[in-house]
Structures are given as structure tokens and as C-alpha cells.
Amino acid sequence: MKRTTAIQGRALILTLALSATTSATADNVEQRTQAAMEVAQSFMMQLGKTMKGAMQKDGPVAAINVCSEQAPKMTADISRSQGWKVTRVSTRVRNPMLGMPDVWEQKVLAQFQARLDRGESLKTMSFSEMVAEPNGRYFRFAKAIGVKPQCLTCHGSKNDIPSAVKQKLHQQYPFDRATDYRTGDLRGAVSIKQPLPSM
């Protein structure tokens, strides 16, 4: 897809710029955070445009296919091209095979909720750090995803979700928990995991 390629291109430029720096700068959280933020924002912008186009053309049921089919392809393409793991995780999982947060992501989502409760805006909320895991060192980044009014068609109150959408969700996601959100709630995060050079 041309749009996905554009995201990959911007991310690749940032990655090459980072790779050209010294080993000390390679561990610079600020530079890596900037690159990860660019990827996360580009991905979410493209996903939003794709979803909006599908809804305008074919109705809200079509948006379900965007989330279930196109979004994972977008993140998979970026992940392959960058050598990063790029995914979306949720506070309430719709698809346990794709949206289940790991331990680090659960911790960060809990921090995001606490920050939201203190009045911080989800629009600019993110977190990043270097972590040591059993299989290596990683740079980890998460960008909060908030619930917008248009999200409620699929993620709002079960009583308010249109019947056709509800039926499609039940067929496609029999273990769906991603409902009863309200505008402004924390929906989840774009999560990025980059392997770091060994010490």
C-alpha cells in the first residue's frame, strides 16, 4: 500500500539517522523516542483516515474489517521493514490473539490511566525507557490511544451499538470485551519494541 510505504519511508530515514550515530547516542532515549513517536503518529493517522473512508463508503460494519485486517497488516509491514515490533494493545481486549498487552505494556497502561485521572491529555501522552529482559535489551515506547466519538459505534455502550455492528462483532470476536467505553477514555496504546545492541 502506498500509504503504508510512506510510513515505512519516514521511519526508515529516522532509523538510518540513528544508526549513523555513535554507540553512546544509539542508546539515547530522546532520539529513539522521537523516531518511535513519528512512527506511532503516522500509523494512527493513516489508520484513522482508512477507517473514516471505509465508514463513509460502506458504513460502520466496514470499519470492523479495517481494524481486523488492514491495521495488523500495517503494523506487520512497519515491523518487518524496521526490525521493530509495532503493535496496538488495549485496556479491554477485542481480539486476544492481537491486542493482549504484555507485562511492560500492562504497567504502562496503568500509568497512563493514572495520568489521565490526574488531568493529563491523552493526545500527547507517551512513555519510553530502556529495559533489560531475559532475552536482551530493548528500547520500549508506548503512545496512548484515546476514545473519540466515532469510536463509540463499535466500542460504546452495548445498548447504543447498531444491531448490524453488534452482530458482526459477535461473529468475528466471540470473546469481545472492548465495549462500554466513553469519549475521552483510555482505549489502549501503540506499542513499539526495538532490540538494542548487546553491552
pLDDT at 28: 85
Whether residue 2 has pLDDT greater than 80: no
Q: What's the pLDDT at 22?
A: 35
Domain range for residue 45? 2-195
CB atoms within 10 A of CB 66: 18
Whether the Cβ atoms of residue 121 and residue 128 lie closer than 8 Å to each other: no
Question: 186-199 burial by CB neighbour count: b if 16+ within 10 A, else e?
Answer: bbbbbbbbbeeeee
Find where cell 482508512 sits.
Answer: 50
- Sign of the CA dihedral 98, 99, 102, 108? positive
- pLDDT at residue 20, as a whole number: 40
Q: For residue 58, is pLDDT > 50?
A: yes
pLDDT given at position 133 = 92
Which spans in the chain are helix H? Answer: 2-19, 23-26, 29-58, 60-65, 71-82, 103-117, 152-155, 163-172
Residue 183 CA to residue 175 CA, distance in Å, equals 23
Classified as helix, coil or strand, 199 is coil
Scanning 20-102, the segments in alpha helix (DSSP H) are 23-26, 29-58, 60-65, 71-82
71-126 per-position pLDDT tens digit: 999 999 999 988 899 999 999 999 888 779 999 999 999 999 999 999 999 999 99
pLDDT at 19 over 70: no
Measured CA distances, 69 to 62, 73, 89 (Å) = 11, 7, 15
Contact 84, 194 (CB under 8 A): yes
Number of domains into which the chain is organized? 1
Q: In whole angstroms, how far apart are CA 25 and each of 83, 181, 192?
A: 19, 41, 19
26 pLDDT band, cuts 50/70/90, is very low
- Per-residue pLDDT of 124-175, as tens digits, reads 999 999 999 998 999 999 999 999 998 999 999 989 999 999 999 999 999 9
- Structural contact between residues 122 and 144, judged by C-beta atoms closer than 8 angstroms: yes
Q: What number of CA atoms fall less than 13 Å from residue 131's CA on the CB side?
A: 16
Amino acid at 99: G
198 versus 47: the higher-pLDDT residue is: 47
